[in-house]
Amino acid sequence: MPSETIKLTAKFKLKEFSEELNNLFSTYREIVNYLITFAFENNITSFKRLKKETYKKLRGKYPQLPSHYLYTACQMATSIYKSYRKRKRKGKANGKPVFKKEVIMLDDHLFKLNLEKGIIKLSTPKGRTFFEFYPAKYHEKLRDWKVGQAWLIKTPKGVFINVVFSKEVEIGEPFTFVGVDLNENNVTLSLPNGEFVQIITHEREIRTGYFVKRRKIQKKLKTGKRRRELLEKYGERERNRLNDLYHKLANKIVELAEKYGGIALEDLTEIRDSIRYSAEMNGRLHRWSFRKLQSIIEYKAKLKGVKVVFVNPAHTSSLCPICGSKLSPNGHRVLKCSNCGFEADRDVVGSWNIRLKALKMWGVTVPPESQPMKMGGWKPTRYEINTLHTING
């Protein structure tokens, strides 16, 4: 069976940190900045060359520092300098590149993670040091995952360690696909048995609620620390709430798709049907949310051995899934085909076309969709995400 790698990043908060760790942050920043300047002055974009030309000098200057910090600092400096060059070419950067963040990149020589005991063992200039951390979300599920790179990050809220976990999973051949159309307030699924399922998410209400809250704060407090803190607090609450919603949604989608073996989503990396997204509030944020939700669906699906494919989103909401003619609006959110008389909700059309595209992409010959014409169109079965109770049908 073909296998795929799933990756996910978990964030752990350290229970406390020491003066020593503080010093490590500033030493590391010093080194990264030295390396960036060196790369900048000598126009070096290769990690190998940068390491070769600076290693001896840095080793001499920081003899106590475990050498792998120099490797990861070189990696960071190379990528920072490269992205600086890219921005510069577009006229978006001037002056010298500088690294101001409190971030330390770690490779597997520099730390060992003990999930069971909640301890990270870190190599420091003074030898191995232990730090306790608070459990992360979905902590137990990560036990049998492989630990990859990590980043130590110092924020006003404390020191965090972000760890990349990976796992090899076996993905079966899909024999068919469930088409999934993501919308701002619902997710619509087109099942291979001809049924449609719509899950009402209320995401728009959640967003609008927080939007109004932020507006009130901005009106009441014009500047200052309190304003920043409040905005940050509600921003975090909104993100957490949406994250929970996405996990719940993704679980349901994967549950419905599991027996069919495949899920089809729209490829949103380049949004062609931009009207569908930009007309709504906070277009940019929504694109971010769609990608976020997609990535949660993708990794949950892979964990269950379900294949995920991405299809070109062009025309998924404008062509008739039965005869391929152009659809025209016929009332609120309803589309009609003047050629064959097909008429349905645009979310039904979207998910249906996504499923058909995946079948074609996968080389499955698509038989003419010949479900008996239902009077009044194709109605999805509606569920509320909070209860997952059926609303109709």
Hey, which residues between 337 and 366 contact Zn ion (CB under 5 A)? 337, 339-340, 342
User: Is there binding between residue 320 and Zn ion (CB under 5 A)?
Assistant: yes
Return the range that interacts with Zn ion (CB under 5 A); candidates 7-15, 54-62, 293-301, 332-340: 332-340
Stretch that binds Zn ion, among 13-21, 84-92, 235-243, 334-342 (CB under 5 A): 334-342
Closer of 340 and 391 to Zn ion (Cβ): 340
CA distance 97 to 86: 12
3-state DSSP helix/strand/coil percent for the chain, to nearest 5?
40, 25, 35
Q: How far is the CB of 326 from Zn ion (least distance, A)?
A: 9
Residues in the chain: 393
Q: Which residues contact 174 (CB under 8 A, 6 or more apart)?
A: 260, 261, 262, 306, 307, 309, 362
| Closer residue to Zn ion, CB minimum distance, 160 or 342 | 342
Q: Which is nearer to Zn ion, 262 or 321 (CB)?
A: 321
Ordered strands of the 343-345 beta sheet = 327-329, 334-337, 343-345
Nearer to Zn ion, 261 or 321 (CB): 321
| Paired tokens of 66 | 């475990």
Binding mask 41-80 for Zn ion (x = CB under 5 A): ----------------------------------------
- Please say which residue, 13 or 315, places its beta carbon nearer to Zn ion: 315
Residue (179 or 262) nearer to Zn ion, CB: 179
Determine if 136 is a binding residue for Zn ion (CB under 5 A): no
The helix (H) or strand (E) run that includes residue 59 is helix 47-61
Of 32, 10, 29, the residue nearest 80 (C-alpha):
32
Minimum distance of Zn ion from residue 361's CB (angstroms): 21
Residue 121's SS3 state is strand
Output the six-digit token pair for 57: 């000098």
d(CA 393, CA 379): 9
**Does residue 177 contact residue 9 with C-beta atoms inside 8 Å?**
no
Query: Can you say how many angstroms the Cα of residue 189 is from the centroid of all Cα atoms in its chain?
Result: 21
Q: Which of the stretches 60-68, 131-139, 248-256, 315-323 binds Zn ion when contact is defined by CB under 5 A?
A: 315-323
- Residue 373 is a binding residue for Zn ion (CB under 5 A): no
Applying CB under 5 A, the residues found at the interface with Zn ion are 320, 322-323, 325, 337, 339-340, 342
